[in-house]
C-alpha cells in the first residue's frame, strides 16, 4: 500500500510540475510578420532637357552604399500630364501614369540612364522615376521634374 501511495504522490507531483513548467515556457505569440526586405535605392538626381518636342530624362543608377544595388532590376517612368486649366488646382492629387520601363543591364550600372517622351503644347508635365527590384520591391519616388510646355 505504501508503494501505491508513493506512486500516486509521484504522479501528482509530476502533473503539478508539468503544469507549472508548461505555463512558464509558453508565452503569447505575436501576429505573423513578413521577413524584412530592403527596398531598392531611390533615384535622387533625376534631371531633364527639352529638345525637338521631346523631354529627355536623365538619371544615374543609385550607388550601393548601405543599399542593395544588386537587387535593382530596372526603372519605371511615371508621368502626370494635365491641361494648364487643370494645373491651377493646388489641392488636387497628382495622378501619375506609368509610361515606360527601363530594364537595367550590368553595363548600365556606371552610366547615366536616358528616357525620352514626346510633348504636346498646352500641358503641365510632372515626371518621377521609381526603381524596382528582382524581388518585386519598389523604391521610393525620385525627385520631381515639373514644367509647362
User: Is 132 among the domain residues?
Assistant: yes
The pLDDT value given to residue 41: 81
Instruction: Answer yes or no: pTM beyond 0.85.
Output: no
User: Is 8 among the domain residues?
Assistant: no
User: Is 91 among the domain residues?
Assistant: yes
Span 43-71, pLDDT tens digits: 999 999 999 999 999 999 887 654 455 67
The pLDDT value given to residue 133: 84
Domain membership of residue 73 as a residue range: 47-148
Element (H, E) at 77: strand 72-83
User: Is 23 among the domain residues?
Assistant: no
Span 102-133, pLDDT tens digits: 998 876 667 789 999 999 999 999 999 999 98
Q: Are 115 and 98 in contact (CB under 8 A)?
A: no
Count up the domains in the chain and report the number.
Answer: 1
User: Is 24 among the domain residues?
Assistant: no
Amino acid at each position: 500500500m505504501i508503494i501505491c501511495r508513493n506512486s500516486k504522490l509521484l504522479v501528482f507531483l509530476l502533473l503539478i510540475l508539468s503544469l507549472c513548467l508548461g505555463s512558464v515556457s509558453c508565452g503569447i505569440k505575436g501576429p505573423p510578420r513578413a521577413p524584412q526586405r530592403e527596398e531598392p535605392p531611390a533615384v535622387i538626381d533625376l534631371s531633364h532637357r527639352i529638345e525637338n518636342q521631346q523631354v529627355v530624362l536623365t538619371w544615374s543608377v543609385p550607388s550601393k552604399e548601405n543599399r542593395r544595388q544588386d537587387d535593382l532590376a530596372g526603372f519605371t517612368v511615371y508621368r502626370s500630364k494635365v491641361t494648364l486649366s487643370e494645373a491651377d488646382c493646388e489641392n488636387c492629387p497628382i495622378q501619375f501614369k506609368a509610361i515606360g520601363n527601363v530594364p537595367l543591364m550590368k553595363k548600365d550600372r556606371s552610366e547615366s540612364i536616358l528616357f525620352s517622351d514626346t510633348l504636346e503644347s498646352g500641358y503641365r508635365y510632372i515626371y518621377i522615376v521609381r526603381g524596382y527590384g528582382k524581388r518585386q520591391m519598389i523604391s521610393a519616388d525620385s525627385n520631381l521634374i515639373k514644367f509647362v510646355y
